[in-house]
Amino acid sequence: MEKYYHSVTLDKEKCRGCTNCIKRCPTEAIRVRDGKARIIGERCIDCGECIRVCPYHAKVALTDPLDSIYEFPYRIALPAPTLYGQFKNTDITAILIGLKELGFDDVFEVARGADYVSAFVKEAMKDKERKKPAISSACPAIVRLIQVRFPELIDNIINIESPMEIAARLAKKEFSRKKGVKEEDIGAFFITPCAAKMTSIRNPIGIERSWVDGAISILEIYGPLYNKIANLKNDEDLLQTASPYGILWANSGGESSSLGVDNYLAVDGIQNVIRVLEEIEDDKLTDLEFFEGLACSGGCVGGPLVFENGFVAKNRIRKLAEKAKGEDLSTEEVMYTKEKIQWYFEKEILPKPVMKLDDDITLAMKKMEAIERIYEGLPGLDCGSCGSPSCRTHAEDIVRGYASEMDCVFKLREKVKELAQQMIEISEKIPGGKTNNNE
Ligand code: SF4
Ligand code: SF4
């Protein structure tokens, strides 16, 4: 199995083994063993759900520190539109200037990248042969969820790069041309609301390598950026180029409404997305044209690495989009960009059959029977005290050799009773061992 980088990791010291996280993981990637959580790497899609639910902050997302930008002679910030919703009474231009004052040589709005992606997707949707509904590729956690849990829907995914990648490519090309410097001397850093984006930089989907060189979390940059914005020295009129549509990509439904499609569904929150994907898989939504699924509640504004309450940020972004200065892209700009950069996936998205029991079908069947047999003997309460998310997963873990039946407290209690009974029976057989009440 391919080696995989994950942004979401466990801080073992902080984990108390409370099992809160195991049931919320959409891919059943967490187990608690010997009092500590463990993430099964092949299953994890870096959705960040476990970061949100852990009461002890033991699940963390690894991102790049702000000073890592100095590894490059030239530095470009790629702010996610979600960043705009983090600051009260602040316009987008002030945020962009603040980023430059933090040490970046240039800023390229990912929302402008989103404008391009909207134009590319609109065109792709005209293809009558395309599988319906077309599924957005914007949220990397959802694309990975499809690889792991819904491989039959891979062909529905729109094979167009994310706004972050498009922004990085355009930003590097433009800066290199303007300043006459080599593209490899330019570092492009995404200001990220989520862990899944960090993972998609290190382990990109559909491309060989990402054009983004690092990701700095909104949480990390918030303080320093807030101070810069409060004391702006520079009053240059930095061009805010993204259109209102591009900015609204931060909110659930933003991408869909930029496409001009009538029959679409925009769903946020990973469990809600799973419910809809199940319906798509069962051919219940064949008349749907477009499906936008976002892992976080409210969309990227609800990411685990943001500072502001997602609902507040969503409202601010809506208001900022109304005042946005950027214009819609012209047909010439879209055509020109298509020729200039790689904008679609160059690699096929492959399924990740991590739930498969065995490559050999006969052995897989045998293992399945064993799982059913063990499962029938378990209490069916899905209490999680064994450290697996459900009784069925516990049965599967036993068959895979990751757990023992005695990890189940009910099974253990039965066993203890049985042993106690045996002890009594043995002691009765020992001469003089039986208690005689008449003696
Ligand atoms: S929620 Fe998970 S990671 Fe957090 S303390 Fe409990 S078991 Fe450990
Ligand atoms: S990041 Fe998501 S998929 Fe990975 S372990 Fe946490 S909840 Fe599960």
Q: Please give the pLDDT value at position 363.
A: 93
CB of 31 closer than 6 A to ligand 1? no
Structural tokens at position 343: 């904008």
In terms of Cα–Cα distance, which of 24, 385, 322, 347 is closest to 157? 347
What is the chain's percent helix, strand, coil content, to nearest 5? 45, 10, 45
In terms of Cα–Cα distance, which of 152, 131, 149 is closest to 141? 149
Q: Return the residue whose CA atom lies nearest to atom 2 of ligand 1.
A: 21
Structural tokens at position 134: 């077309």
Mutation to probe ligand 1, out of 9, 25, 31, 32 (largest number of atoms < 8 A from CB): 32
| Stretch (H or E) spanning 273 | helix 270-281
Are 306 and 48 in contact by the 8 Å Cβ rule? The answer is no
CB of 51 closer than 6 A to ligand 1? no
Mutation to probe ligand 2, out of 36, 46, 198, 273 (largest number of atoms < 8 A from CB): 46
pTM, whole model, 2 decimals? 0.91
Q: What is the pLDDT along the chain (439 residues), one digit of tens a residue?
A: 456 789 999 999 999 999 999 999 999 999 999 999 999 999 999 999 999 999 999 999 999 999 999 999 999 999 999 999 999 989 999 999 999 999 999 999 999 999 999 999 999 999 888 899 999 999 999 999 999 999 999 999 999 999 999 999 999 999 999 999 999 999 999 999 999 999 999 999 889 999 999 999 999 999 999 999 998 876 666 678 999 999 999 999 999 999 989 899 999 999 999 999 999 999 999 899 999 999 999 999 999 999 999 999 999 999 999 998 888 899 999 999 999 998 999 999 999 878 788 889 999 999 999 999 999 999 999 999 999 999 999 999 999 999 999 999 998 898 999 899 999 888 888 877 555 444 4
Give the other-Cβ count within 10 Å of 431's Cβ.
5
Judge residue 84's burial from the number of C-beta atoms within 10 Å of its C-beta, 0-12 exposed, 13-18 middle, 19 or more buried: buried
Q: What is the Cα–Cα distance from 26 to 239, expressed in whole angstroms?
A: 41
Q: Return the residue whose CA atom lies nearest to atom 5 of ligand 1.
A: 15
In terms of Cα–Cα distance, which of 13, 82, 25 is closest to 52? 25
CB of 292 closer than 6 A to ligand 2? no
Give the architecture-level CATH label for domain 8-60.
Answer: 2-Layer Sandwich (3.30)
If you measure from the C-alpha of residue 75 to the centroid of ligand 1, how many angstroms do you get, rounded to a whole number? 37
CB of 47 closer than 6 A to ligand 2? yes
Mutation to probe ligand 2, out of 8, 23, 273 (largest number of atoms < 8 A from CB): 8
3-state secondary structure of 74: strand
Q: Please give the pLDDT value at position 5.
A: 86
Beta strand ranges found along 41-133 (DSSP E): 59-61, 74-79, 106-107
Are 151 and 351 in contact by the 8 Å Cβ rule? The answer is yes
In terms of Cα–Cα distance, which of 214, 202, 292 is closest to 252? 292
Q: Please give the pLDDT value at position 128.
A: 85
| Stretch (H or E) spanning 32 | strand 30-33
Give the other-Cβ count within 10 Å of 330's Cβ.
10
Q: Among the atoms of ligand 2, which is closest to the Cα of residue 195?
A: 1
Q: Please give the pLDDT value at position 270.
A: 96
If you measure from the C-alpha of residue 30 to the centroid of ligand 2, how many angstroms do you get, rounded to a whole number? 7
Structural tokens at position 62: 């690894």
CB of 39 closer than 6 A to ligand 2? yes
Q: What is the Cα–Cα distance from 169 to 343, expressed in whole angstroms?
A: 9
Helix/strand number for the chain, H first, E second: 15, 11
39 alpha carbon, closest ligand: 2
Domain ranges of the chain: 8-60, 66-340, 361-429
On whether the 361-429 domain is CATH 1.10.15, my answer is yes
Q: Please give the pLDDT value at position 433.
A: 59
CB of 25 closer than 6 A to ligand 1? no
